[in-house]
Structure formats: C-alpha cells, structure tokens
Structure 1
Amino acid sequence: METLVIFIPCVLYNEIPGLLYGVTQQTEERVKSYFILGKYHKYKAPTNTRCKIIGYYCKENLPMKSLSTHKEDWIVIGLKNSEFFLHKLSCNRDNKQCQTVCIIYDQKTFIDSQFLLHDSEFDGLAYKDQFKALAKILNSNDCLYEYKSSLLLRNTFTQMIITVLLFVANCLLRCVDLLNILLKYTTLGLHLQLFLKSVAWVLQSCIGQRKLSVKVGNYIIASIVDICSGILLLYWLMAITSSPSQLLLDTGEVVVRTLRELLQWVMGIPAGLKLNYAFNNMLGRFFLYHINLWWTFLVVSKPLLEITFHIFLYLGRLGLTFQASILADLLALVSFHIYCIYVYAARLYNLQVSGLVALWRLFLGRKYNPLRGRVDSCKYSPDQLFVGTLAFTILLFLLPTTFMYYIVFTSLRLVVVGLGGLLTRVRYVLQCLPLYISALWLLQSTSISSTVHITVRQNEAESPLTLSVKPVASSWWKTVQHCMPEPVQPPPTVEWYNMVKNLISGNLIYPV
C-alpha cells in the first residue's frame, strides 16, 4: 500500500481562501509527499522552479472552481472548527488503495532551526526523509527570505563593512601563512593562525547566510568572554609583578637549582641503590653541563627575552587562549634542557634494552629476521657467543644506572607533557565555551531544534490520520556538539596503550 503524506502549514489558519503552492515529490519508494508552503500571491510568487500550484484552500463552504478537474496532484483543504480536513485529493493512483497522512507544521520554527538536517537526530523516526526534505525545501524557498535572514545583515552598508573586515583578515592570514615555516614550531604562532581562520569563518558565515547563526553566535560570545577574562588576568599579573621577564628568569633559576640538586642526589646513592660509580659520574657531569649551558643562555638572552615578553603582553590582551599559548611556549622554553636530557636518557635506555633483547635471543639460538618480520632459529659460533655474553653482562650491569636517570627525567617529561596537554584542552574549551548555546537550550529556543515531536490530532477510521509536528531540542550535550566552530578541531585523544608501551621500551613521549 502506498502512503500519501501532506504537509500543511499552520499559517493557513489566518489566511483567506485561495490557491496553494508547494512541492510534490516521491521521497521514498512507496511514499509520495505534498509539501504545501503557503497561499499563492501574485505579487509574492515563488521563484523556486520546483514550486507550483498544487491545490486550493477554503473554509467550510467549498467554491465550485476548486472542484475543477485535475488529473493528478491537486489538493483541496478546508477548515472547520479550527481543524484542517481534506476535501479532495486527486492523484494518478486509486485513493482508496492509499493511506493518507496529514502533518500540520509551523513554517517559522522549521526555518529558525539550524540543526534539523543532521542525519543522526532522525535515526529511528518515522517519516524522517520527509522531515529532512521539508527542512531543505523551506530553506531553499525565496518567498520565505524574510524568515531566514537578519534585517541588520541584509543592510548594504553592514555587508560592505563585513567584506572589508574579511579582506583584512584574509590578508593577515596570508602573511601568517608566509611565516608558517617559523611559526609552526610555536604554540602562539599556530594559535594566531587558528584565530585568524576563525575570524574569517565568522565573517564568511555572516555574508553567506545573511544572519548570525547559532554556531557563530556561540563562538562570538565565547571570544568576548575569553578576551575580557584575559584582560582582567593580565592587569592582575601586571599589578603583582614589576618585571615579567625577571619573573621568567627567577622561575628558570628555581628549575635549574632544583635539577642540580636532583642530579647531585642521583649521582650519590639514590634511595640506597649502589650504582656504577664511573658511569653514574659521567652521566651526571654530562647532564649538569647541559643544565649550566641552558642557564647561561637564558641569562645572556635576557634583553631579548624582555622585548619578546612585551610583545607577548600585547598579544595576551587578545584573550586567555593567547595567554595559554604563550604559557605553553614559555613552558617549552624553560624546560628545554629537561627535554634534551630526557632524549639522551631515553635513547640510551632504549639502546641498552634493545641490545639486551637481541643478546638474549643469541643465548637461545634465535635471531630476528626483518624481511619476514619474525624470529628464526640461527647457529652462532663460539666467538660470537663469547662476545655476546660479554656484551650482555656489561649492558646488564650498566642498566640500573641508566634506568635511574631514565625514570627521573621521564617523570619530569611526563609532568611537562601533561601541563602542555592541559593548556591545549583549556584553549579548546575556551574557544568552544557553550554559554550562548546553553542559554538558548534553557530558554527552549526554536533555533537549536534538532529533532521533532509528533502528536496525534485526529485518528478516525473514515478520515486521514492527522498529526501535529513541532521541532524540539535534543539533549544539552548533543546540542553543544552541533555548535562546535568549524575551524577549531578537538585535541587528539590520548592513546594510553601506546604511551605505556613507549615508556616501557624507551621510545620518546610526544606532546598530547
């Protein structure tokens, strides 16, 4: 049995009798839909080529001209006791063999909603393709232009200002792209590039849609909160410290002093462990040299740091996200010597562990075959076994000393990586702060509706099934997910298994 679905706008309650225009289409294999968009007016004729005259609307008295013979796709709708009823339906099929469903909808709520076209929200919902088709038709109909665009953004002067701002943003973005070979190594440079892309996205959205979408509005509110909070925090920091560059040097001095004391402790008898004295002394002096070298660099470059810090202060007025980016770069600058020592310790530990594993296979008479990607049996000569036994013994007795340095500086590396990952996620949360969308969700605004609520209005045996549909909002979390700004990508998830595997094998831990 074929189903005929008729969508009736509730604006017809206040209309006088007249012709109806809309769209007719086969939405599914055995479902034909009639989308009535409104009453036809000559001075307000639809420019959409898909729209056509598909019926007549009347009150209780049915005029004779509405009963003119039509071969197919002609609907006559009446209104009695504030309820729509179907006078006549002409199509190229036998009406008695068809199931007819009338759905009453509100045009404005469907047009206001910006999330009704998300596929995931309609999963498991009856007539989901019809609702998606209705939303697309309403958003493409030029006769409903006044519903879909903002009066302010339709203003020519406003569009001109937005176009100029978009041109400036694109020029700045191109300049930043030219310097990307240097800026890509700094968190601040990458965040500045993302900020300019977001500004260009906001301006392009305003020009293209002629209105302020929910996504753009939420990003603008989040940016305003970000900038205001950043300015307040910056003034507070300036009030408690007179020289920010000196504060950086003092912090670096504390870090260097702490590392020196830590190395002196490891070079002694840490936790009562008896390490290899010569190897321990060599590693300790080698790492102390790097720490002293990095501290000398910070002291010598103090004038340059002061100039750089003043530039950072001006950029910090752009918001907390910029300050978090600056803090991430300063963290990398202060802890650069920790990273270098960690790389040395990790590579040395990985080399020893790999050597011990390979030599252990030698004792078992086996060898790793890289061509086949497996371990095969192998015969070794006495000389090879002697050298392997000697090397295995040396590496095994040196491993505790290397492992102690690896544990200490890997722990420091994990702290630095954790702080960097925390700052990355703080920036993401500040850029996507759902203040505006949460207010709309609490107020049950129609602009955030992403699914529909259907109620039965009439279900009699001799008349078509009449339903009333109303767009409603989904859960708060799903609504927030719909409002994520497009240029801002979420930070990658932490792969804990790979991280633990790298820690055990001595591979490097990268920022998360």
Structure 2
Amino acid sequence: SVDDTARTLFDIVLGLLVAWILYDTKESFVTSFRLSWSTFAQTLENRVDWLESFPIGFKLNVPLTHAMGEEIQRVLQYHDQAEELLWTQEIQDAWATSLCLTATIFGFSATIAVLMDTMWVATLHLFLLQTFFRLMHRTQLYLLGAVGRLFRGKKRNPLRDRTDTMEHDAMQLLLGMILCMIVVFLFTTIVVYYAFFTAVYLCVQTVALCM
C-alpha cells in the first residue's frame, strides 16, 4: 500500500542520514558509548556497595549481605574483565562500521535492532542476577507457604490440586520451625536485592524500549 511504501522510504532515508552521521562522528560516537557504559558500570558497583551499608533503615542479615555483595562484585568484575578483553578498539571500530553499513543497507529500524541486541548482550549479567534473585524470592515464598500449611496441619496435594489435612509429628514441626526462622531472618535481605536488580533491569529495558 501507499502507507507501507512511504514508511519504507522514510526508514531508508532516515537510515542513510544516520549512516552519514555515524560515519562522520564514528570516533566520538564510540567514545561516548564507552564512556556512558563505564559510568553505568561504576554507578552499579557503587550501588551494590551502598546496599551493604544497610540503606534507608533496612535491617539486613549482615553475613548474608556481605557474602552476596562480594559475589555480586566478583560477577561485575569478571564482566568488566571480559569486556576489556573482547571490546577492543578494533572491535569497537568494526561495530561502528557495521552500524553504518546496517543503516545504509537495511535502514533505520535495523540499526535500532542492532543497538538493542548490543545492549542485551552487554547487560546479560544483570538479567542473570535478576533471575537468580527472583528464583530465590519465589523459593522463600514457597517455603513460607509450606511451613504455614505445616503449622496448620495441612499438606499440599499436587496430584489433586488441593490442600489435604495431615497430622505431623514433633520432629516435623521442629524442622518446620527451624526452616521458618531461617527464611524469616533472610527474607528482607533477599527482597532488597531482588527489588534492586529488578529496578536496574527495568531501567535497562526502558532505555531499550525508548529506542
């Protein structure tokens, strides 16, 4: 149709314009992109350190907070080392050149797709961290539900998709009480880290959608 043809022509023309701008400012574009990412990575590391200082009055579990903070910082450091190893000056120039070629041949939409894929690869470790804490949060919610049913003399029957009545002995109740105490003491810490990385990943997704 006429509208589709007009949109295609507009995408091609806009792609040629973007290709010309990228080619003319390729060095400054790559430098700005690298500087922006370095600033984001440094800010993220500082925020992780901030979480270890028990922000806004949260009473976090001290050993767990320090242990998770160290492991998260290690993940971020490994990512930075891999970035320095793989994201060399030659790779940066080749990436900028490929953006110019993509904009010239396939148009503006394809260029945005390449930028979004680049951002997804660069933030893959954040997605994995968010997924890890999401699974931990779901696990502790499941455990709290299971312990609650235990104290009420109930048991989940997945085969019939219902909750049945069941008598528990003293040892089962003792184990349930110990498990409940562990989950309760760690609950706030897991929730804070889960909320933090969810917010970070949502910010990344928002930037990608704005493209």
TM-score, with normalisation over the residues of structure 1?
0.39
Q: Give structure 2 stretches of 5+ with no counterpart.
A: none
How many pairs align? Answer: 208
> Where does 1:468-507 land on structure 2 (aligned, <5 Å)?
none
Backbone CA RMSD of aligned residues: 1.8
Q: Deviations over 1:4-31 (max 9, x none)?
A: xxxxxxxxxxxxxxxxxxxxxxxxxxxx
- Residue of structure 1 aligned with 2:69, choices 284, 287, 297: 284
Question: Mean alpha-carbon deviation: is it higher for 379-388 or for 305-314?
Answer: 305-314
Alignment check: 8 A CA contact 2:153 2:165 kept: yes
- What's the CA shift for 1:421? 4.2
**Structure with larger RCO (C-alpha < 8 A, sep 6+):** 2
Q: Deviations over 1:334-354 (max 9, x none)?
A: 222211211121111111111
1:221 is aligned to 2:6 = yes
Tell me the equivalent position of 1:402.
Answer: 190
> Where does 1:50-61 land on structure 2 (aligned, <5 Å)?
none
- Residue of structure 2 aligned with 1:375, choices 139, 153, 163: 163
> Where does 1:71-110 land on structure 2 (aligned, <5 Å)?
none
- Give % identity: 22
- What's the CA shift for 1:288? 0.8
Change (3 A) 1:272 1:238: farther
Tell me the distance in 1 between the aligned counterparts of 2:3 and 2:64: 59
1:327 is aligned to 2:115 = yes
Change (3 A) 1:308 1:375: same
Alignment check: 8 A CA contact 1:263 1:284 kept: yes
**More strand by percentage:** 1
AA aligned opposite 2:143: G
AA aligned opposite 1:401: T
Tell me the equivalent position of 2:125.
Answer: 337
- Residue of structure 1 aligned with 2:91, choices 291, 296, 304: 304
- Residue of structure 2 aligned with 1:415, choices 192, 203, 206: 203
Tell me the equivalent position of 2:53.
Answer: 268
Change (3 A) 1:313 1:233: closer
Greater Rg over alpha carbons, structure: 1
> Where does 1:8-23 land on structure 2 (aligned, <5 Å)?
none
- What's the CA shift for 1:218? 2.3
Tell me the equivalent position of 1:233.
Answer: 18
Q: Give structure 1 stretches of 5+ with no counterpart.
A: 1-214, 424-512
Tell me the equivalent position of 1:384.
Answer: 172
Tell me the equivalent position of 2:79.
Answer: 294
- What's the CA shift for 1:230? 2.0
1:351 is aligned to 2:136 = no
Tell me the distance in 2 between the aligned counterparts of 1:242 and 1:417: 26
Tell me the distance in 2 between the aligned counterparts of 1:314 and 1:241: 12
- What's the CA shift for 1:237? 4.0
- What's the CA shift for 1:404? 0.5
- What's the CA shift for 1:240? 4.4
Tell me the distance in 2 between the aligned counterparts of 1:417 and 1:357: 32
- What's the CA shift for 1:252? 2.1
Change (3 A) 1:304 1:238: closer
AA aligned opposite 1:226: D
Tell me the equivalent position of 2:148.
Answer: 360
AA aligned opposite 2:119: L
Q: Secondary structure at the match of 2:27?
A: coil
Q: Deviations over 1:17-71 (max 9, x none)?
A: xxxxxxxxxxxxxxxxxxxxxxxxxxxxxxxxxxxxxxxxxxxxxxxxxxxxxxx
AA aligned opposite 1:276: N
AA aligned opposite 1:275: L
Tell me the distance in 1 between the aligned counterparts of 2:68 and 2:49: 11
Tell me the distance in 2 between the aligned counterparts of 1:237 and 1:400: 47
Q: Secondary structure at the match of 1:275?
A: coil
Change (3 A) 1:359 1:305: farther
- What's the CA shift for 1:297? 1.1
- What's the CA shift for 1:232? 1.6
Tell me the distance in 2 between the aligned counterparts of 1:234 and 1:345: 40
Alignment check: 8 A CA contact 1:275 1:400 kept: yes
- What's the CA shift for 1:250? 2.1
**More helix by percentage:** 2
AA aligned opposite 1:341: L
- What's the CA shift for 1:234? 3.3
Tell me the distance in 2 between the aligned counterparts of 1:239 and 1:305: 15
Q: Deviations over 1:301-326 (max 9, x none)?
A: 12334323322321122322012101
